Amino acid sequence: MKRELRTAMVLSALVILGPAYASLAADPDAPVTEPAGRYYLVPEMKEGAARVATGRRQFKRRLAFSPAVGRLGEDDLFAVRLAFNPDHWLGYEVSLGHNPASSLHALLHTFNLQIRYPLPGRFQPYASAGYGMMTVYPGKAIKADPVTKNILAFGGGLEVYLRNDVALRGEMRNAVILGQYRGQEDTVAYTYLEYTIGMVFYRSLGG
């Protein structure tokens, strides 16, 4: 009985694996086809988790979501950004940041332009310039109303791609806050160094 069972198992294995073995023997370099019904929600994963396509990076018609942490002046900065690239060299980005401190905290919202020249490989530098508003909220110890000021920011950054749709992102900018002294009409500019590091996740809209 055991001999007949062993013989049946061997014959079954030959029937199942025989055609695949024959095709590999005929062409060992032939690509292995995917089982029917398998598909990738993230197409970039099909070719490997850490693979980056050759040639210049493609940015046209891509959305990007980027959480980041860093510093604004001497205080912490937490930011989230959403960008759309209508062309290979141009991106529009909306940024929302929170700058907490011991006695007060601030919310920043800016609209930024990203200018880049796409390069081949993993390293992609870019320039950034933006305009927005900063609202400063006094702490409970200070009885005062929130104050809103204009903010200009300019600088640049570097994206290091882990795969086609995910990259590490580092950015450094000068943030110029425009305000006025109480009782005076002259505009005063305060300049702070802003730097962040985070991730950026890309999704293509096609086209």
The answer to whether residue 41 scores a pLDDT higher than 70 is no
Structural domains in the chain plus CATH codes: 2-44 (no CATH), 62-204 (2.40.160.20)
**In whole numbers, what is the pLDDT of the chain averaged over residues?**
81
Residue 151 pairs with which residues in a beta bridge? 132, 177
How many C-alpha atoms does 167 have within 13 Å on its Cβ side?
24
Residue 73: C-alpha distances to residues 16, 109, 191 (Å): 67, 17, 9
The answer to whether residue 120 scores a pLDDT higher than 90 is yes
Predicted local distance difference test score (pLDDT) of residue 102 = 64
pLDDT digits (tens, 9 = 90+) for 122-177: 999 999 999 999 998 876 656 677 888 999 999 999 999 999 999 999 999 999 99
Tokens at 79, concatenated: 């930011």
The answer to whether residue 16 scores a pLDDT higher than 50 is no
pTM above 0.85, yes or no: no
Between 137 and 46, where is the model more confident?
A: 137
Compute the average pLDDT of residues 72-99.
Answer: 95
For residue 174, the one-letter residue type is N
The answer to whether residue 33 scores a pLDDT higher than 60 is no
The answer to whether residue 198 scores a pLDDT higher than 90 is yes
- CA pair distance 175, 152, nearest whole angstrom: 6
Predicted local distance difference test score (pLDDT) of residue 137 = 83
Non-local (6+) Cβ contacts of 188 within 8 A are 178, 179, 180, 181
Choice among 39-48, 51-60, 75-84 with the minimum mean pLDDT: 39-48
Residue pair 197/70 in contact (Cβ under 8 Å)? The answer is yes
Evaluated on CA atoms 166, 170, 173, 177, the torsion sign reads positive
Compute the average pLDDT of residues 60-78.
Answer: 95
